[in-house]
Amino acid sequence: MALCRNAKGPLSRMLTTRSGVSYGQRYSTAATAIPIYQSADDKTAFRYAFGVLSRRFSSQTPPAAAVQMTLIKQLRERTSAPIKDVKASLVQCNWDIEAAQTDLRKRGKVLAMKKAGRIATEGLLALAQNEGKAAVIELNCETDFVARNEIFQYLALTLAKQALLVENASQLVSGVHPVGLESLEELKLNLEHPKISGDTTVQNAITEVAAMMGENVRLRRGFVMSAPSPGVLSSYLHTSPQPGLGRIVGLLSLEIEDGNSPLDTVQRVGSELAVHLVAAKPLFLTKEGVSSDALESEREILKSQAESTGKSQMTIEKMVEGRLRKYYEEVVLMEQKFVMNDTMNVKTLLSNLSKEVGSPVKIDNFFRMEVGEGIQREEVSSADEPVAQAA
């Protein structure tokens, strides 16, 4: 017992000195000061002081489980980062949520750079449009789960709107023009989403979203279509999670000879034709527009198929010509059966429209693009990026 009291003596004096409060201890006349507790209150006071001091020297002690869960939930809501990463950052930063948020951003950017080489075949197309111009961009990710994320969708729409604002001399001429991705990625953005906000560049915004999602996020390509004057632009997005987004886009411009013609009717037919583009997948606008390489390749295939029948050469030639007409109906927009009324082709539809509005109407340009098309070929070949189908 004496040994125990000797051990407590110096600590008791230290506690009394630190707290600045006397707890009514008396000391014996022995060489070593020994605290003598007069009552149970003295012992309780000692234990309280010891607890305070212990907590003071144990700042690394993690908070209670309930507090930990609350901090994890709050940081997860702020950043949308994976739970395991959220917890790791909080532990690393001693459960300081502000420091952990900064740490998460640093971690995420490093991981995003490491994942930049991974194949990203999923994603969304985003469309932004005004009366004279429409812009389409493709933002890729690795899984459709990320493509459904609200932050990813917000970024895709923001990039399309930014592409629409980019001015280029070539865009003054009606037609389909590629967006310069390098110049687009350097542009400034003002993001206003609860989980990603502030002034940044397009490239930094993509990197930050990639860090949040834990996947490779890539701005793959973009195109701008300018409308003829007078004329209208019509578009359709297939598999659309919200306005302006989809997995397939059909876009076309209709030129009207008489600017006083009723545009509502032209716009209605244009919207139907945009749906047709998505469903029918035309490659060329007219028969005359079919490339000589495509035509020669198809002719060789058809000839080989006809020769396998053992028919005469004259019969083979007739078979090839007949099948070429079928080929035109499959790949040439003006020759295709209209998907909403297969009793007529697109050429007849436009003829009827011209009569209805009292002025010739023609398709100036068309454009069809689908998420991920050509990516696998791109990974194994050095060929150019696949270009969207257009007139």
pLDDT (tens digit, 9 = 90+) per residue, 204-215? Answer: 899 888 888 888
pLDDT at 138 over 70: yes
Q: Within 10 Å of residue 229's Cβ, how many Cβ atoms? A: 10
Q: State the virtual CA torsion across 174, 178, 180, 181 in degrees, nearest 10.
A: 140
CB 361 within 8 A of CB 265: no
* Alpha-carbon span 307 to 176, nearest angstrom: 41
Q: State the virtual CA torsion across 190, 194, 196, 199 in degrees, nearest 10.
A: 20
Mean pLDDT of 312-330: 87
Distance from chain centroid for Cα 281: 25
Q: How confident is the model at residue 267 (pLDDT cuts 50, 70, 90)?
A: very high
Instruction: Find the range with the poorest average confidence among 208-222, 293-307, 309-323, 369-383.
Output: 369-383
Mean pLDDT of the chain: 79
pLDDT at 136 over 50: yes
pLDDT at 23 over 60: no
Q: How confident is the model at residue 168 (pLDDT cuts 50, 70, 90)?
A: low
Q: How confident is the model at residue 110 (pLDDT cuts 50, 70, 90)?
A: low
pLDDT tens, residue by residue, 50-83: 444 444 444 557 778 888 888 888 777 776 667 7
| Percentage of residues in the chain having pLDDT higher than 90 | 39
* Alpha-carbon span 128 to 244, nearest angstrom: 7
CB 265 within 8 A of CB 356: yes
pLDDT at 34 over 60: no
162 versus 48: the higher-pLDDT residue is 162
